[in-house]
Amino acid sequence: MSMEPEFGEFDLIRRFFLKRGAPRRGSGVLLGIGDDAALLELPQGTDLVATVDTVVCGTHFLEGADPRSIGHRAMAVNLSDMAAMGATPAWATLALTLPGVEASWLEEFAAGLLQLGAEHAVELVGGDTTRGPLTVSVQIMGHVPHGTALRRSGAAAGDILAVSGTLGDAAAGLALLKKPAARLTAQAQALIQRFNYPTPRVQLGIAARGVAGAAMDLSDGLVGDLPKLALASGVAAHVAIEKLPLSAAMLDTIGIEQARDWALAGGEDFEMLLAIAPDRFPALKRSADQLNLTLTPIGELRTGAGVTWSLNGNDFVPSVSGYDHFA
Amino acid sequence: MSMEPEFGEFDLIRRFFLKRGAPRRGSGVLLGIGDDAALLELPQGTDLVATVDTVVCGTHFLEGADPRSIGHRAMAVNLSDMAAMGATPAWATLALTLPGVEASWLEEFAAGLLQLGAEHAVELVGGDTTRGPLTVSVQIMGHVPHGTALRRSGAAAGDILAVSGTLGDAAAGLALLKKPAARLTAQAQALIQRFNYPTPRVQLGIAARGVAGAAMDLSDGLVGDLPKLALASGVAAHVAIEKLPLSAAMLDTIGIEQARDWALAGGEDFEMLLAIAPDRFPALKRSADQLNLTLTPIGELRTGAGVTWSLNGNDFVPSVSGYDHFA
């Protein structure tokens, strides 16, 4: 019997994911990977925030995708949920199912996952590695000062509806990935990068804590996600489609109509959707400026229910529906 | 656009996993399923305990297994990790990857998962449902009074080594499942039940808090798991194999040698392995008695390193190795 068989489950986790030495000071990790569970210390006066998201081959990334981007994505989608709550992310666990062990793949995957985690001071505190079709579930735990979490249900009629960054780039990047060209322009490469390496808006979420009324992250497209916020808050939402922030990269690559469809319904952007009282908007705009992030008003919340859309003052009905993994 | 497409991801979770009404009072759930993340309140003076485990078809259960037992198992393996830490389990998240949606399958799966959760007052607070090959990852979060968690590293030379329940039954049950007989005896059915519906020893773990020096749960068999505890504690371990608790069901079904092999190396028993100072053993034995659970001394810890085995006073070398999902 070998206690740590080469490439055994126990060894796998250690080899690729366990950082050497003790956890970072102030990380709250009393006991990390290596026992039956992790032991963590929440800062005083905070609530625990927990989320889980899975990325699966064929659904969230293409067959043969760069393992570094898969690792990055698995961490990013969960960090984006933390951002949407205004939470400070702190700890992650990883459930990794793999068809087999390929050291170079695992090294790249771990690098993508751990590097983005490190940028946000997230410690990997637990994991489980099993054999099976490639599936990556990450859970992140974080915290917010008691009572300050951003919920979907806190929006009020009269609030400004705003989004961070630009919308539709990830869908454009995915479309480019699906039909590889001989030579990619710098614009096309930038769009592919937006799909492969989404940037969670963690700092904006923290800045919006106590400022925005409601928030969520855009993972299923505006058409799919906005109705959830409106319903949770018991208000109607209106969006002026000409205000949607579209990147120069996307507009230079494809026509305005396709660009708008992607901005409306393309999933995986991981930008933030925020509802903010008009008198508080300037303060949040300043915070976004300091983060070098655009924050664009796209509409407003009204009394009533449901979502309406307009284009240059005329009623508009999106021809595309929200991204749903089981639709 | 339909906001909640039938069998859409959003709807799936609600339909099968979301309990009606507000979370149970005292559950610490400030915000459950339905926002970007769960918001949870840890009891004052406690540390957070977090663990994740995945069950995969073909590795942890057989093709075509009863979905109720798969749901039970996914919850049980994580509760067992909580037990091993002496933690009080509180909240769970579920990452469920499914090839497709079959209502009857999901109903049974959810029933198995939620029923065992309810027995231990665990609330499901988050989830992600994706399309892909069947994979179930559950993460459980719980808590222990600050500084009282059971670790693998707290054992000392001179401690008694003890196990809860009986060992090897799950392996015997799995062997029976693999070659279905025309008629199963009641004994055989009991062994299959032990494999399909493992019982996490949560109450024993809580009772062992502050009493046992070290603990872990037996998921990979004694031969695979005991070296980890010995290494973490910096001690040697000795087991007298004739003391291993074997069930009447197993002994009536197969010969003593096979029974011992399974007790040594059969995985998935989810019994607890404990190291306890001799003067504290009687108190823990009384706690186990009150839980109608046997607690059997099987050996001791000594100065040094490594694990040795004896059978009726003679050195013994197990012919079987620990269960490892990637071995």
DSSP A5-70: -TT-HHHHHHHHHPPSSSPPTTS-EEE-BTBSSEEE-PPTTEEEEEEEEEEEBTTTB-TT--HHHH
Mean pLDDT of each 10-residue bin along chain A, 327 residues long: 39 66 77 89 96 84 88 96 97 90 90 96 90 90 96 97 97 88 88 95 97 95 95 97 97 93 92 98 98 98 97 91 49
Judged by average pLDDT, the poorest of A181-195, A239-253, B77-91, B105-119 is A181-195
Q: How far apart are CA B221 and CA B237, in angstroms?
A: 15
Q: How far apart are CA B178 and CA B312, in angstroms?
A: 33
- Contact assignment for A36 to B5 by CB distance below 8 Å: no
| Degrees to nearest 5, angle at CA A142 with A228 and A272 | 35
Q: Any CB–CB contact under 8 A between B99 and chain A?
A: no
Q: CATH 3.30.1330.10 in chain B, residues?
A: 9-145
pLDDT tens-digit map of B210-236: 999 999 999 889 999 999 999 999 999
Q: CATH 3.90.650.10 in chain A, residues?
A: 152-316
Whether the per-residue pLDDT at B23 is higher than 80: the answer is no
Q: How far apart are CA A69 and CA A75, in angstroms?
A: 10
- Contact assignment for A325 to B129 by CB distance below 8 Å: yes
Q: In chain B, what are the helix, strand and coil shares in percent, each to the nearest 5?
A: 35, 30, 35
Give the pLDDT confidence score for residue A60 in this predicted structure. Answer: 75
How near does any CA of chain B get to the CA of A12, in Å?
9
Judged by average pLDDT, the poorest of A214-218, B2-6, B16-20 is B2-6
Of B2, B47, B318, the CB nearest to A39: B47
Give the pLDDT confidence score for residue B216 in this predicted structure. Answer: 97
Residues 211-240 of A with CB under 8 A from B: 215-217, 223-224, 227-228, 231-232
Chain B residue at shortest CA distance from A40:
B48
Q: How far apart are CA B78 and CA B80, in angstroms?
A: 5
Average pLDDT, chain B: 90
Chain A residue at shortest CA distance from B146:
A41
Question: pTM for the complete prediction?
Answer: 0.90
Q: Contacts of residue A42 in chain B, CB cutoff 8 Å?
A: 42, 48
Q: Does domain B9-145 have CATH number 3.30.1330.10?
A: yes
Q: Does domain B152-316 have CATH number 3.90.650.10?
A: yes
How near does any CA of chain A get to the CA of B319, in Å?
8
**Integer CA distances (angstroms), A251 to A170, A173, B115, in order:** 13, 12, 52
Q: How far apart are CA A82 and CA A86, in angstroms?
A: 6
Task: Tell me the backbone φ, ψ of residue B136, rounded to 5 degrees.
Answer: -125, 115
Chain B residue at shortest CA distance from A7:
B326
Of B52, B223, B327, the CB nearest to A5: B327
Which stretch of DSSP H or E encloses residue A144? strand A135-145
Give the pLDDT confidence score for residue A2 in this predicted structure. Answer: 27
Give the pLDDT confidence score for residue B227 in this predicted structure. Answer: 96
A116 with A72: CB under 8 angstroms?
yes
